[in-house]
Structure 1
Amino acid sequence: MKKIAVVMLFAAVAAVLVFASCDDRESANEIPVGVVLPFSGPHASIGVSMRKAMEFALEEIHESPLLGDQEIRFIFGDSKSNRQSVREAYTKLIEQDEVAAVLGPFSSSRTEDIIDIIDKNRTVSLSPTSAAMGLSARSEFLFRSSLTVERLVPHGVEESKRELNYTKVAMITNAGDTFSASAYEAVKREIEKDRSISIVSDQTYTVPSSEELPDLTAQLTQIANSGAEYIFMSAQGTERTGILVQAERVDGLEASIIGILLTTNEIRDAQQEEAGAGKGALTFTVWLPSIDTPENRKFRDEYKERTGEDASSFTARAYEAVRIFAQSVADAGSTDREAIRDAMENVRLENSIYGSDFYFDLNGDAVYDPVVGIEQDGGFKVLGQ
């Protein structure tokens, strides 16, 4: 009996060792990657939609041969759209979960908050949506796959001025937000280069943390009285819908709005709340559903089929960020953090959904063709087409 018991014991131990070996092998083939987005707080709806797009992209990658027998495993952190939470999320993911890299954050303000953390830990952070000027140049580990305002605004002003020939413009800006202030500076610089354009009203506002967009009737009324033909709006995504709605309700305000990274969803949400809101609006943006390439049509149609939702600029950028990261891992042939950084510096997507090749410049900011859209029937079409 003892002999049988001993044999059974050895068999049990052997089985445990086999399973442990399998677990080790499986974990060795798994690449932990952090994702830090706002899943609660004022930008929660955007963060949730971006997560869906990232998971959709990950499914496609795992169905392809790109990573061989390796698989990316997302570990999520909630930035809650505030400094403390984004720093806590990054610190946990990098130092405790030991992720290979982090996808995020959402905004330029929160991106600025984590630069010292990624530098200290020498870990790549790839933001799908941060677009303020100059941030990537502050860290060799920070990359941003959205076009920044340095690329969006000069092209947008040139294209819109040629098509619309405006001479009087106004500005309305969230002065307390990093992206909005950066977009404002870029627009002002381009307008001042053209002596045929005058800024006839320059209005600002701030949104205290976790509070809603304030009443902008006073600012918008001053714009209405200024004779401006177009209003350059520099604001965060959740604010832009509210500004469109408030502008439509101001008597005598005939100027159309030009929004930096204004999205189709924001136009539709505004028009559901107030008929006529956003009519004739323009966007200086990175992606439109109407970009007519095989890659974009495939993404747009399959995203709708799998999620039941229309793709947006935010979901498009989230989707493409995952593809860019996965290609970088494949190119690196390693999950070493610095190897991923080196590969990302040289990554190139020749079939991006943006309608042109994608790569990073020497600072780690994205390069591809920007697009100007004009509102039509609650969506955007490419200006001039």
Structure 2
Amino acid sequence: MTIKPITKLAFLLALIVLAAGFSACDRIQNVMAPEAPHRRIGAGAEVSIGMAVHLTGAFESTSGLVMKRGAELALEELNALHAGVATLSFIVEDSGSTPEGGIAAYTRLIKEHGVTTILGPTTSTVVSAAFPVAQENGVVALSPTSAARGISALGEFLFRNSLTVDRLIPGGVAETQAKLGYQRVATLYDSADVFAQSSDEVLQEALQENGVEILATETFAFGDRDFSAQLTRIKALNPDAIFISAQTTETTEVIIQARQLGIPFEVPFISSLTLTISEIERAAGAAEGTIAFTSWSSTANTPGNQEFVANYRAKYGDEPNVFAAQSYAAVYILAKAIADAGATDAAAIQQAMANIKDLDTVLGTFSFDENGDGVYTPVTLIVKDGKLAPFGEVEAAAMEELRNHLWVVNQDGVEVAVPGTWKLLSTTHPNSTYTLGDTFILPPVSPHKVMKTDGVYTDGEGRLWTMGHITLADDSQLKFLQWVDMNASPVQLHIILRTDANGEPLLEYGTYPFASPEHDVQVWEQQ
């Protein structure tokens, strides 16, 4: 297992100082000028850190498990580094994915276990309820992932190493608006979630500051699974982009349903939370082009980041996400503060935490601001070819190419890309203007023939068809219905054109039943 060399050296030096005896501890105390004696860390001591983590409930799989994994990986590395000097350990309590669970977990950790530092939980809704318990009891609390504005400012013992929405969103809006040029947008957020409320609030401010018109703001409640009414209203407004503020489960479902309703891929979704790889896979092609303002990237060359990614994969057989990375970094940050404090009491650790500046972490060069919130460089990511990539590396030309792919709704209601060369196998109209053996390429190479999707159509047999159009050289539009048979080998693309009696395509969509001579039903085979 590879361990970050910079952190290893710094931590070892700090612990050597702690183990050197009273004179070293006295020097630390003189520097910190404490008002009361601190509980020093002796050689071979065990330092317990409380962990409040969502082991059950709605966030168990999306953030609880990965937080625990990231933290435990860091703990394992740190203990391997200073074996025989001091040992860090976790006392874990389930925060249950609810505000009440967070309060109960903090109370147990403080009253029953007597911890002076607590790591977690993850979500802003739960953190905003639990943090006051730590503040009232003078216990240091560090949430690795919560990002709503203002929570750390509730007290001097409260810290967060995630970037807050105030640091993520304004720069992200400025960057994406400059590249994509959106002028008219809609926002959609979870009105029952503290993070989502805060995110949309900051989005409204940032969009207005950048001169972007907000056409509508739609809401839903955490746990909702049908977003068709909100998305239908948004679609009717024809926005240039849609901003969504929600937890990742709801965000994924919104994106899937939006593409099923025919909101085209030229209208990107932009989020303040990054979808995980499993969520991107679940969304299939629907997630393509989704943009996220976030705190971490697996491809970044921040100190120790590639080693962390490799070690996480080796230990858990899975890809780390931003929650795992933030939790991993949080343990190193806490360990740095404990080592700098040279003591286990909360007052000393709080002072050391507040003084952390320019610390090398997998998140980047890290500092705490005056409110106890993390400061480092944010990241903007985009889903490209089913993976998360830095937005800045996907240039405007590539974005346009992505939007101009032809997408087809499969029979599971999920849009899939159908690039490649296609050859005409059959046609039903006796006067069809198409000849067997004709071919075409997707996406179109001719700039005046841009294919885009407009929605879906269900025929009398229950099949889903994609409604698409081609803008021709004279600015007219050739409209058609299509569905892809993924079970055929090679894959077949069925296309229906509404025609006149002479076989000339009309500028309107076909309607079931697809009878001749009003329709030309074509089958194209992928080459």
TM superposition score normalised by structure 1: 0.87
Is contact 2:43-2:85 (8 Å) kept?
A: no
Equivalent residue for 1:97, pick from 73, 97, 113: 113
Equivalent residue for 1:236, pick from 247, 251, 254: 247
Cα deviation, residue 199, structure 1: 1.0
How far apart in 2 are the matches of 1:170 and 1:219?
Answer: 10
Letter in 2 for 1:243: V
How far apart in 1 are the matches of 2:99 and 2:360?
Answer: 35
In structure 2, stretches of 5+ residues that fail to align are: 1-40, 394-527
Is contact 1:282-1:375 (8 Å) kept?
A: yes
Letter in 2 for 1:238: T
Equivalence for 1:347: 356
Q: Over residues 180-211 of structure 1, what are the superposed CA-to-partner deviations in whole Å (9 max), with x where a residue is unaligned?
A: 0000000100111122x21122110112xxxx
Equivalent residue for 1:158, pick from 174, 189, 206: 174
Letter in 2 for 1:289: S
Cα deviation, residue 359, structure 1: 0.7
Q: Over residues 148-201 of structure 1, what are the superposed CA-to-partner deviations in whole Å (9 max), with x where a residue is unaligned?
A: 000000110111111111111110100111110000000100111122x21122
Is contact 1:303-1:310 (8 Å) kept?
A: yes
How far apart in 2 are the matches of 1:120 and 1:215?
Answer: 41
Equivalence for 2:260: 249
Equivalent residue for 1:167, pick from 183, 187, 205: 183
Cα deviation, residue 344, structure 1: 0.3
Q: Over residues 110-136 of structure 1, what are the superposed CA-to-partner deviations in whole Å (9 max), with x where a residue is unaligned?
A: 111123311221001100011000111
Equivalence for 1:304: 313
Larger radius of gyration: 2
Equivalence for 1:338: 347
**Is 2:123 aligned against 1:107?**
yes
Equivalence for 1:79: 95
Equivalence for 2:218: 203
Equivalence for 2:389: 381
How far apart in 2 are the matches of 1:332 and 1:290?
Answer: 33
Letter in 1 for 2:124: S
Structure with the larger helix share: 1
Letter in 1 for 2:244: M
Shift in alpha-carbon separation, 1:159–1:260, aligned structure 2, 3 A:
same
How far apart in 2 are the matches of 1:107 and 1:373?
Answer: 21
336-345 or 249-258, which deviates more: 249-258
* SS across alignment from 2:383: strand
Equivalence for 1:190: 206
Cα deviation, residue 70, structure 1: 1.2
229-238 or 178-187, which deviates more: 229-238
Shift in alpha-carbon separation, 1:85–1:264, aligned structure 2, 3 A:
closer
How far apart in 2 are the matches of 1:26 and 1:42?
Answer: 41
How far apart in 1 are the matches of 2:123 and 2:327?
Answer: 13
Cα deviation, residue 80, structure 1: 0.9
TM alignment of 1:1-385, pairs within 5 A: 29-45=45-61, 46-65=63-82, 69-195=85-211, 197-207=212-222, 212-254=223-265, 255-265=267-277, 268-272=278-282, 274-293=283-302, 295-348=304-357, 350-354=359-363, 356-385=364-393
How far apart in 2 are the matches of 1:229 and 1:70?
Answer: 56
RMSD: 1.8
Letter in 1 for 2:372: G
Equivalence for 1:18: none
Q: Over residues 330-378 of structure 1, what are the superposed CA-to-partner deviations in whole Å (9 max), with x where a residue is unaligned?
A: 1111111110111000123532112x31010010000000011111121
* SS across alignment from 1:381: strand
Structure number with greater CO (CA < 8 Å, separation at least 6) is 1
Letter in 1 for 2:386: G
Cα deviation, residue 26, structure 1: 9.7
TM superposition score normalised by structure 2: 0.64
How far apart in 1 are the matches of 2:206 and 2:224?
Answer: 27
How many residues in Structure 1 have an aligned counterpart in Structure 2?
351
Cα deviation, residue 270, structure 1: 4.1
In structure 1, stretches of 5+ residues that fail to align are: 1-24
Is contact 1:223-1:253 (8 Å) kept?
A: no
